[in-house]
Amino acid sequence: DFGVGWSASALDEPVGIPGVPHVAAGIDAVAAIPQPVIAAIRGRAHSVALELALACDVRVTDEDATFAMGDTSLGRVPLAGGTQRLPRAIGRAQALRLVLLGEEIDAAEALRLGLVSRAVRADELDAAAMAIADAIASRGPIATRLAKEAVHRGVEMPLDQALRYELDLTVLLQSTADRAEGVRAFAEKRPPRFIGR
């Protein structure tokens, strides 16, 4: 399993509760990684494990996986970003369905909702995740980081501000050696050799 959520003892006073902010901070730290983060989800991704997956940029899953945010059935609110990242991933109505009802959905439904970007056979999961990682790694690292930043920050802005932000990042990228290499490689019909500068 990717993760089945919190154990009862992990949330018991006095031992468990002090650790909760650290878990949330750890998940926030994953979301803040400037490079794209890929989650390969095998089996169940429930509660805090789903919150961890939501902090990742690309989610690929096996076809037998299930997803749930059942915290309210335990009298709790998701506490590591679930109420905020889930609606941004699948929309408010579907997020409320999962959070308020605690419904478990399968991989096909997760794919249909946009919770995951790809569902593959279990024996293909690792290779599929690595293929995505390799494809991302073949692109310009600075452009990739800035594109990730533009998507994540831009979705929080009004469209006109987000478009200006995107343009600002594009202008910033113009002075890099990688951008020049990308243009040269395109003109010369060869793969680019990016250096991260």
Q: What is the mean pLDDT of the chain?
A: 91
89 plus 159 within the same structural domain? no
Per-residue pLDDT at 6 exceeds 90: no
Tell me whether residue 4 is in a domain.
no
Query: pLDDT tens for residues 52-75?
Result: 999 999 999 999 999 999 888 877
Let me know: does 61 contact 121? Beta carbons within 8 Å: no
- Written as one string, the DSSP assignment of 123-149 is GGHHHHHHHHHHHHHTS-HHHHHHHHH
Show which of 93, 113, 136 is a domain's final residue. 136
47 plus 120 within the same structural domain? yes
Tell me whether residue 43 is in a domain.
yes
> Which tokens is 135 given?
């494809």
Quick one: DSSP state of residue 6? -
% of the chain with per-residue pLDDT over 70: 92
Residue 169, domain CATH: 1.10.12.10
- The pLDDT, as a whole number, for residue 23 is 84
pTM across the whole model: 0.87
pLDDT band at 101 (very low <50, low <70, confident <90, very high): very high
14 plus 93 within the same structural domain? yes
Domain count, the chain: 2
Considering only 7-11, 69-73, 152-156, 176-180, which range has the smallest mean pLDDT? 7-11
What count of other Cβ atoms lies within 10 Å of the Cβ of residue 129? 21
Q: Output the CA–CA distances (angstroms, integers) from residue 153 to 52, 157, 158, in the order listed.
A: 19, 7, 10
Q: Which domain holds residue 179?
A: 140-187
Residue 96, domain CATH: 3.90.226.10
78 plus 39 within the same structural domain? yes
Looking at residues 45-49, what average pLDDT do you find? 92
129 plus 147 within the same structural domain? no
Let me know: does 122 contact 42? Beta carbons within 8 Å: yes
